């Protein structure tokens, strides 16, 4: 009875109410603060091309918001972001660059060095310098050239895997608690990339003497890694080549008897037909610099591999 | 008492030159040590606070003081230049974040600080107006520099040529003011900040011009071969970077060998800082790594040694001045013997004479005190600028 009376005393009631109210407030605040911190924990990663976006998303999973702000209809290599977009890049936790001179706009804007990761910085020795460099001179600087380095590094899938590794390491440095998760995700991505690599090695090794024409000089890394014999012209898939372009092709064909032309995107029907009439078939190997209309990086590359298989049948 | 004050007032008003001389002497002798103390305290505050907040500075071997003064306070003395390779070297150690700084050029008398965005985060600089630098040619201006130059967001600021007679040299660059910084009461208030690449454009290492391979005007082409196009001096170089011509801006050669004056190295922790310092100890090393606090401490020790000498000099001068004032009053009393006798004859006591003289002294001392106070207030108000003008240049 004494115990019951104690429990039911008004003082005790007030104490109990106060205790529960305080506990409830504490729980609510704790929940709010936890929710806030987990949201802010999500890394914001800005990238300069789609392959890097794909790699970062695969590695980071839900732990990062990966942003690639280039419009769908532009080539990100030659795109120039507006001021608003540059300021957004500046606020990111991590900015992923492709390196090899890709996205020249990077040299014309201010980005925080501490947040920049050049994913191919450790592979500088593997960069390919293109022959088509015109030097010029003016003023005190004397003769100089604007060096042209081939930048579609990721279509050599071994380089792509290394770029992905540097992304995984950088993400791990930013969120050390998630390092193991990032490395695990990277391993899965590396496996996919190296499977593609081996598939291409197997296909091309069937006939190393086969010659190709590249519709654009973007296949340097592909050619070097897999032993493809490619000479390039400067044709756009969605534009009909002019007389000068056809003449240029004829000149190349005299010393480089190719039976296949590799296109960056689906070519115009008319171009395909004219090429066919001179004994050149068309296949598409999309470097996938921008977000594909359908599928993702891996599915596009798998399709590329399938397309290339046609040339070796 | 009021009568005594009135008579004393009339006396000091009548003897204007004597009074003014006495007031000036007392004012100066009391003002000098107080003002000196104020300025030294302010200079110590400015120098130490910035030095303490800057962990390490990497630069060319030579005067550590010049290096620190240029890097921290944007002083006039430009240390020998180093290259961006030195910054890459710090980055590769993974021991510290390198913040390259290039303080060489000026715009209307204010230093242009070429750096990266990390500098703003490191110093905690915030925008009062406008936005952060985003593209080549953008600049943000320190609060006081903007105030003194009358600049606002959207205005232009032209870089000054390094030498007046460098007529064939690099064209000045017209920069766009995109932001004004909040006041920090540090050297940052008096600086113009631009991206490192913009300062390289000012130097002429990067520039924009018409595409030489597409030139139609024959007077612009000196020689054209298959691999090279040589332009004549007539080729127009852009002196302002705009959305229209930014694509034409380019840098010649490898930017890793481009010049900077120093690197602020921000170690990840104390241990990393110590290891990094150890990397610059070899005799063959061409760079030095300085701890700004130690350099500034050394400078301040010298300043305080000089201050002690100055204090002693002021003490002796003060003593001499006080004695001179006593002499002036003694002689003055002697000269006023007849005046005193008249006062006695009028029936006044000796105390009245004492009251009169005391009132005169009080009026002179009070006037000096007021004047000295006003001058001290003035110095206190402008101590920040005065220190910058007198000590930190």
The answer on B152 and B67 residing in a single domain is yes
Burial environment of residue A291 by CB neighbours within 10 A (0 to 12, 13 to 18, 19 or more): middle
Burial environment of residue B354 by CB neighbours within 10 A (0 to 12, 13 to 18, 19 or more): exposed
Q: Provide the CA A110 distance to its chain's centre, in angstroms.
A: 21
Spatial contact of A153 and A120, defined as CB atoms under 8 Å apart:
yes
Element (H, E) at B263: strand B262-267
Question: CB distance A112–B229 less than 8 Å?
Answer: no
Residues of A in contact with B213 (CB under 8 A): 134, 136
Nearest-CA neighbor of B207 among B136, B131, B121?
Answer: B136
Residues in chain B: 393
The tens digit of pLDDT for each residue in B190-225 reads: 999 999 999 999 988 887 776 666 666 777 666 676
For residues A158 and A225, give the distance between their C-alpha atoms in angstroms, rounded to a whole number: 8
Spatial contact of B132 and B179, defined as CB atoms under 8 Å apart:
yes
Position B206 scores a pLDDT of 81
The answer on B200 and B272 residing in a single domain is yes
User: Closest-CA residue in chain A for B121?
Assistant: A112
DSSP class per residue in B378-391: HHHHHHHHHHHHHT
Distance from CA of A292 to the nearest CA of B (A): 27
For residues B47 and A104, give the distance between their C-alpha atoms in angstroms, rounded to a whole number: 40
3-state secondary structure B82-134: EEHHHHHHHHHHCCEEEEEEEEEEEECCEEEEEECCHHHHHHCCCEEEECCCC
The architecture CATH gives domain A41-129+147-197: 3-Layer(aba) Sandwich (3.40)
Residues of A in contact with B247 (CB under 8 A): 80
Residues of B in contact with A143 (CB under 8 A): 228, 230
Question: CB distance B134–A83 less than 8 Å?
Answer: yes
Burial environment of residue A10 by CB neighbours within 10 A (0 to 12, 13 to 18, 19 or more): exposed
For residues A266 and B9, give the distance between their C-alpha atoms in angstroms, rounded to a whole number: 103
CA-CA-CA-CA torsion for B367, B369, B375, B376, nearest 10 degrees? -170
- Averaged pLDDT for residues B68-77: 91
Position B233 scores a pLDDT of 63
Residue listed under structure tokens 């804007």: A109
Nearest-CA neighbor of A86 among A108, A55, A71, A101?
Answer: A108
User: Closest-CA residue in chain A for B231?
Assistant: A138
Q: What is the DSSP letter of A113?
A: G
For residues A158 and A162, give the distance between their C-alpha atoms in angstroms, rounded to a whole number: 6
User: Closest-CA residue in chain B for A144?
Assistant: B252
Going by DSSP bridges, is the β-strand pair A211-214/A260-263 parallel, antiparallel, or unpaired? parallel
Given the candidates 3.40.50.300, 3.40.50.720, 3.40.50.1980, 3.30.420.40, the CATH classification of the domain at A206-311 is 3.40.50.1980
Position A34 scores a pLDDT of 43
Spatial contact of A265 and A237, defined as CB atoms under 8 Å apart:
yes
CA angle (B87, B89, B94) in 5-degree steps: 100
Domain contains B184: yes
Domain contains B66: yes
Q: What is the number of alpha carbons within 13 Å of residue A225 lying toward its C-beta? A: 24
Distance from CA of A184 to the nearest CA of B (A): 24
Distance from CA of B69 to the nearest CA of A (A): 24
Spatial contact of B32 and B311, defined as CB atoms under 8 Å apart:
no
Position A16 scores a pLDDT of 53
Spatial contact of A68 and A53, defined as CB atoms under 8 Å apart:
yes
Distance from CA of B133 to the nearest CA of A (A): 7
For A111, the closest of B98, B117, B251 (CB atoms) is B117
The answer on B17 and B105 residing in a single domain is no
Residues of B in contact with A90 (CB under 8 A): 117, 132, 134
Three-state DSSP at A303 gives helix
The answer on B176 and B42 residing in a single domain is no
Domain contains B234: no
| Comma-separated ranges of CATH 3.40.50.1980 domains in chain A | 41-129+147-197, 206-311
The answer on B261 and B119 residing in a single domain is yes
Q: Hey, is the C-beta of B350 within 8 angstroms of any chain A C-beta?
A: no
For B227, the closest of A110, A134, A139 (CB atoms) is A134
pLDDT tier for residue B177 given thresholds of 50, 70 and 90: very high
Position B378 scores a pLDDT of 93
Residues of A in contact with B96 (CB under 8 A): none
Question: CB distance B204–A144 less than 8 Å?
Answer: no
Spatial contact of B252 and B211, defined as CB atoms under 8 Å apart:
no
Cβ contacts of A235 within 8 Å, gap of 6 or more: A215, A216, A241, A245, A263, A271
Residues of B in contact with A113 (CB under 8 A): 91, 97-99, 116-118
For B135, the closest of A108, A134, A146 (CB atoms) is A108
Distance set, CA B300 to CA A289, B80, B97, B123, B293 (Å): 58, 24, 28, 23, 10
From chain A, which residues contact B within 8 Å (Cβ)?
80, 83, 86-87, 90, 107-114, 134-141, 143-144, 146
Q: How many CB atoms lie within 10 A of CB A92?
A: 20
Question: CB distance A138–B212 less than 8 Å?
Answer: yes
pLDDT in tens, chain A (313 residues): 444 444 445 555 555 555 555 555 544 444 444 444 444 478 999 999 999 999 999 999 999 999 999 999 899 999 999 999 999 999 999 999 999 989 989 989 999 999 999 999 999 899 998 765 545 555 544 554 545 889 999 999 999 999 999 999 999 999 999 999 999 999 999 999 999 999 999 999 998 889 999 999 999 999 999 999 999 998 988 888 888 888 989 999 999 999 999 999 999 999 999 999 999 999 999 999 999 999 999 999 999 999 999 998 8
Q: Provide the CA B1 distance to its chain's centre, in angstroms.
A: 52
The answer on B167 and B25 residing in a single domain is no
Q: What is the DSSP letter of A137?
A: E
For B118, the closest of A112, A137, A139 (CB atoms) is A112
Question: CB distance A136–B230 less than 8 Å?
Answer: yes
- Mutating which of B85, B89, B119, B135 best tests the A interface, going by the most A Cβ atoms within 10 A? B135
For B228, the closest of A109, A113, A135 (CB atoms) is A135
Question: CB distance B209–A107 less than 8 Å?
Answer: no
For residues B90 and B256, give the distance between their C-alpha atoms in angstroms, rounded to a whole number: 13
Residues of A in contact with B91 (CB under 8 A): 113
Residues of A in contact with B197 (CB under 8 A): 107-108, 110
- Averaged pLDDT for residues B270-277: 95
In sequence order, the β-bridge partners of residue B249 are B208
Spatial contact of B143 and B209, defined as CB atoms under 8 Å apart:
no
The answer on B323 and B181 residing in a single domain is no
For residues B220 and B215, give the distance between their C-alpha atoms in angstroms, rounded to a whole number: 7
Question: CB distance A139–B237 less than 8 Å?
Answer: yes
The tens digit of pLDDT for each residue in B293-341 reads: 999 998 888 877 887 888 888 888 888 888 888 887 788 788 888 888 8
The answer on B198 and B119 residing in a single domain is yes
Question: CB distance A137–B228 less than 8 Å?
Answer: yes
Residues of B in contact with A110 (CB under 8 A): 116-117, 132-135, 138, 195, 197
For chain B, positions 171-230, list CB contacts with chain A under 8 A. 195, 197, 204, 207, 209, 212-213, 227-230
Question: CB distance A139–B233 less than 8 Å?
Answer: yes
Q: pLDDT exceeding 90 applies to what percent of chain B?
A: 46
Element (H, E) at A201: helix A179-204
Q: Hey, is the C-beta of B333 within 8 angstroms of any chain A C-beta?
A: no
For residues B207 and B105, give the distance between their C-alpha atoms in angstroms, rounded to a whole number: 16
Final residue belonging to a domain, choices B290, B308, B339: B290
- pTM exceeding the 0.80 threshold for the entire prediction: no
Position A138 scores a pLDDT of 54
Question: CB distance B197–A107 less than 8 Å?
Answer: yes
The answer on B189 and B139 residing in a single domain is yes
- ipTM score assigned to the predicted complex: 0.77
Position A18 scores a pLDDT of 52
Domain span at residue B195? 56-205+252-290
pLDDT tier for residue B356 given thresholds of 50, 70 and 90: confident
Position A35 scores a pLDDT of 41
Domain contains B247: no
Going by DSSP bridges, is the β-strand pair B228-231/A135-137 parallel, antiparallel, or unpaired? parallel
What's the structural domain count of chain B? 2
Position A41 scores a pLDDT of 79
The answer on B312 and B272 residing in a single domain is no
């Amino acid at each position: 009875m004494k115990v019951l009376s104690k429990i039911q005393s008004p003082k005790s009631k007030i104490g109990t109410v106060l205790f529960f109210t305080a506990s409830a407030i504490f729980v609510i605040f704790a929940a709010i603060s936890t929710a806030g911190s987990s949201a802010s924990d999500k890394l914001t990663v800005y990238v300069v091309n789609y392959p890097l976006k794909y790699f970062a998303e695969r590695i980071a999973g839900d732990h990062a918001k990966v942003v690639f702000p280039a419009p769908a209809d532009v080539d990100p290599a030659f795109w120039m972001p507006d001021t608003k977009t540059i300021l957004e890049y500046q606020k990111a936790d991590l900015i992923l660059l492709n390196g090899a001179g890709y996205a020249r706009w990077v040299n014309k804007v201010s980005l925080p060095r501490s947040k920049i990761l050049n994913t191919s910085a450790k592979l500088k020795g593997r960069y390919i310098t293109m022959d088509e460099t015109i030097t010029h001179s003016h003023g005190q600087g004397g003769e100089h050239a604007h060096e042209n380095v081939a930048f579609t590094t990721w279509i050599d899938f071994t380089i792509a895997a290394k770029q992905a590794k540097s992304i995984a390491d950088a993400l791990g440095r930013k969120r050390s608690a998630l390092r193991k998760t990032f490395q695990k995700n990277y391993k899965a991505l590396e496996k996919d990339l190296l499977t593609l690599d081996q598939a291409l090695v197997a296909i091309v090794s069937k006939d190393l003497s086969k010659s190709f024409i590249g519709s654009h000089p973007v296949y340097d890394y592909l050619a070097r890694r897999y032993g493809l014999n490619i000479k390039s012209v400067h044709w756009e898939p969605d534009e009909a080549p002019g007389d000068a372009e056809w003449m240029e092709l004829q000149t190349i064909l005299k010393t480089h008897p190719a039976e296949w032309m590799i296109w960056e995107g689906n070519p115009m029907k008319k171009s395909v037909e004219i090429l066919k009439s001179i004994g050149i078939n068309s296949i598409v190997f999309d470097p996938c610099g921008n977000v594909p209309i359908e599928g993702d990086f891996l599915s596009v590359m798998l399709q590329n591999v399938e397309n290339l298989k046609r040339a070796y049948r | 008492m009021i009568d005594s004050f009135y008579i004393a007032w009339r006396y000091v008003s009548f003897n204007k030159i004597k009074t003014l001389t006495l007031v000036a002497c007392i004012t100066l002798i009391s003002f000098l040590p107080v003002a000196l103390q104020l300025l030294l305290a302010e200079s110590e505050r400015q120098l130490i606070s910035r030095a303490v907040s800057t962990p390490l500075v990497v630069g060319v071997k030579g005067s550590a003081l010049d290096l620190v003064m240029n890097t921290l306070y944007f002083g006039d003395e430009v240390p020998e230049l180093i290259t961006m390779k030195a910054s890459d070297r710090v980055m590769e150690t993974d021991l510290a974040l390198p913040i390259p700084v290039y303080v060489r050029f000026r715009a209307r008398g204010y230093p242009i600080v070429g750096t990266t965005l990390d500098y703003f985060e490191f110093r905690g600089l915030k925008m009062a107006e406008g936005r952060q630098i985003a593209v080549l040619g953008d600049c943000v201006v320190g609060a006081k520099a903007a105030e003194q130059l009358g600049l606002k967001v959207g205005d232009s600021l032209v870089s000054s040529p390094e030498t007046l007679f460098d007529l064939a040299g690099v064209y000045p660059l017209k920069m766009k003011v995109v932001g004004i910084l909040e006041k920090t009461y540090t050297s940052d208030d008096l600086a113009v900040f631009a991206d490192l690449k913009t300062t390289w454009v000012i130097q002429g290492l990067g520039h924009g011009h018409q595409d030489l391979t597409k030139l139609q005007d024959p007077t612009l082409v000196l020689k054209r071969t298959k691999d090279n196009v040589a332009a004549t001096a007539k080729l127009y170089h852009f002196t302002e970077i705009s959305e229209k011509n930014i694509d034409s801006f380019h840098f010649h050669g490898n930017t890793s060998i481009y010049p900077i004056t120093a690197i602020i190295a921000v170690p990840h922790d104390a241990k990393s800082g110590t290891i990094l310092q150890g990397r610059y100890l070899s005799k063959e090393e061409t760079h030095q790594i300085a701890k700004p606090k130690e350099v500034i401490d050394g400078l301040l020790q010298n300043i305080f040694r000089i201050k002690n000498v100055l204090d002693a000099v002021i003490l002796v001068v003060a003593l001499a001045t006080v004695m001179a004032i006593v002499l002036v009053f003694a002689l003055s009393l002697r000269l006023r013997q007849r005046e005193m006798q008249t006062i006695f004859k009028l029936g006044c006591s000796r105390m009245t004479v004492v009251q009169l003289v005391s009132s005169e002294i009080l009026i002179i001392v009070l006037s000096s005190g007021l004047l000295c106070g006003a001058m001290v207030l003035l110095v206190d108000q402008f101590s920040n600028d005065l220190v910058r003008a007198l000590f930190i240049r």
